[in-house]
Structure 1
């Protein structure tokens, strides 16, 4: 069976709520497929530590274009391809490409700094653009008609299929899962000025919560796996501390300090604002509508791995619950390893609950 016995398939996480009194997460789950959906369509899981592994490129972003729902042909997002529809002999419109028809070479040459968008390494893009069957159009879309696409200059194209190559809801990260932390504070409120986290892994007001591939951990270079491996070792240490305390009859909550989180994010934003990612001519999924770069890391992978190689317990506020039969004191808990200082990453043991890709593993 391996890991599969711990995985809940055909499920999606709808909401997660931190209980301040119990110092545990309650995760509401919806069954989306299979026979279980008929008999047990939804249920809840309680866990000591909650981990989000939903990533940044998981929820398609659909454009807000008038008439999109009125199109009588087939509409599909490039990330949710419907293979049951053949393209043979069809007029296909793709929304989300770049370039212009006149002066093709000049128009396809970016006027922004290299690297401000993801660099696509492909040997078939330009041949596809140069194909006589392709019409490259960058005039703004006015609306979708029942039979095609109408531009602001009045030109109308008839289509059988429209493909939305409009990317993902990257800057929202946890969307559409509703997360509520300590004091009833929602993640939406916490991130009202843009997503941020301590080292891209933990979030103020969310005790015993961690993220893989969270805010400011994407790369314009190197492999994301190296970032996630560092996060895994770091979060394992936090999980171990929570479970070790539980085994001693305690319920603890580990929450990153707001001042440490703010200082860290101010530092990386100052670096990022001087990078190609911040080019004002460049619109990308790396930054939100206000221009804040919420997705990308500001340094090298080696720097990030070194930063997460050990936990500084001074980064966290610790709340301690009651033991069975007596009240625990904050000084009874000194962090994993018992010295109250830094600790290198260790194995987590039996993790109670983790959420990935809107599925659930217990």
Structure 2
């Protein structure tokens, strides 16, 4: 049998993980398609001031490669350098097709292959296709009346445009993980920064810092040092997950810690009250930032604890009717994580489109495979977000794909599909775990976990260890080789 041809869509950290593991453990011919001009995914696209990860570097990196991280939490340039380092270390450059967006996949039953189409008019054939498009890649743009009339610069944070903000009045709409990085970074230059907050989030101090020379030497020279550090981070993360039970002691500890952080860093009591949520810790994704609260003490930074309702050519109006004159409008309005595979048309058996199958809700067995779409795998698919570090989740998913590719090559079978019964049982189990009335995720705040029908389609209902065990044991029973 000839070598299997495998296409990977996306050269972010998920696509890189899949390519590395396939190259190390299979003889497949690998092609990685990336719509951007470089690798890194979200860390290539997001270049706003202050951009950095909020997960410790030793956890937000691959387990199969030791790396000399300079700080506890990597900045965007450092993460982009890391992605390129991994690509070069494992010789993936020849497999890349950059600046090439994949537009469609069509399953050909007679040949058991996919026809892959690109924006350049290519029509290519692959035996296996892996989607590594990521979860936070489709920006959410608000539908405010008058937005198109604004005469100054206006842009989403993931499409950052460089402007001289000196002496400018700037509105930052949103107080999520991105906004809390941008505000402290731009406040020293702007004349005024108005921070529009629809709903506050629980914020914890990130405690980021440079590693000392001694620490860096130890992590470079002592073989187990990074592994021990990584294990400690995952252990703490598993303990944090217990806090999602609103009746737990861990929930009370997390809330108390966040409240003490507010009281110790914000001077104005009205601002302290405005940034304190009235819902449990964990209803939204917890935010980590050591500098955002302090920036609210600046004379030129104003928290507006109301939603934006209208935009004028030179200003914005909030829910109270107050209008503020601004020169620059920055949209930190998040993404559309529940729209999986947005922009990619995938057709499986009998010509069924995956978005038609997902019309009521997006589901996938272990978040990786969908019945009726043989030899097609998803990284960072439905209900796989969480587990301390998404990088670890992506590695486990890539290992499932490698196992399937090896099985195809070993058995000389042409397809691997998913048992519909196994997929239904998996989704039912996830729903039961997530539907608990005691889960903070169901506490009524605005979060990105739920689709329009109220289904939690993004979150994994446990820690990473549970997902690792599930992908190693359960996945093999849901994947079958019918031909």
* TM-score grouping bracket, smaller chain normalisation: 0.7 to 0.9
After superposition, the C-alpha distances for 1:267-321 in whole angstroms (9 at most, x for unaligned) are 111111225353242111122122211111112211111111147654245443x
In the alignment of these two chains, the number of paired residues is 304
* Higher RCO, 1 vs 2 (CA within 8 Å, ≥6 residues apart): 1
Q: Say if 2:324 is the partner of 1:161.
A: no
- CA positional deviation for 1:94: 1.2
* Structure 1 residue ranges without an equivalent (≥5): 31-40, 321-362
Distance 1:75 1:157 in 2: 15
Asked if 1:197 is matched to 2:286, the reply is no
- 1:10-29, Cα deviation, whole Å (9 max, x unpaired): 11111111122221111111
Q: What corresponds to 1:42 in structure 2? A: 121
Alignment of 1:6-17 (within 5 A): 6-17=95-106
Partner of 1:82: 161
Normalised by the size of structure 2, how large is the TM-score? Answer: 0.59
Which among 294, 301, 304 is matched to residue 137 of structure 1? 304
1:113 corresponds to: 280
Q: CA deviation at 1:153?
A: 3.4
In the alignment, is the contact (CA less than 8 A) between 1:234 and 1:311 conserved in 2?
Answer: no
Residues 1:66 and 1:243: Cα distance change in structure 2 (over 3 Å): farther
Alignment RMSD (CA, Å): 2.1
- Mapped to 1, the partners of 2:442 and 2:360 lie a distance apart of 20
TM score, norm. by length of structure 1: 0.78
Shift of the 301–168 alpha-carbon distance from structure 1 to 2, 3 Å rule, reads same
Pair 1:86–1:214, CA change in 2 (3 A):
same
The 2-side partners of 1:151 and 1:313 are apart by: 53
Aligned to 1:293: 456
Pairing 1:1-362 to 2, within 5 Å after superposition: 2-30=91-119, 41-83=120-162, 85-97=163-175, 98=197, 103-219=270-386, 221-244=387-410, 248=412, 252-274=414-436, 276-310=439-473, 314-320=477-483
* Segment of structure 1 superposing worse, 149-158 or 190-199: 149-158
Q: Flag as ranges the 4+ runs of structure 1 deviating above 6 A.
A: none
- Segments of 5+ residues of structure 2 without an aligned counterpart are 1-87, 176-196, 201-267
Could you report, residue by residue, the CA deviation over 1:116-152 in whole angstroms, capped at 9, with x for unpaired residues? 2222221111112222212222333332111121234
Contact 2:173 2:308 in 1 (8 A): no
* Structure-2 change in CA distance of 1:102 and 1:173 (3 Å): farther
Q: 1:277 to 1:13 in 2, by over 3 A?
A: farther
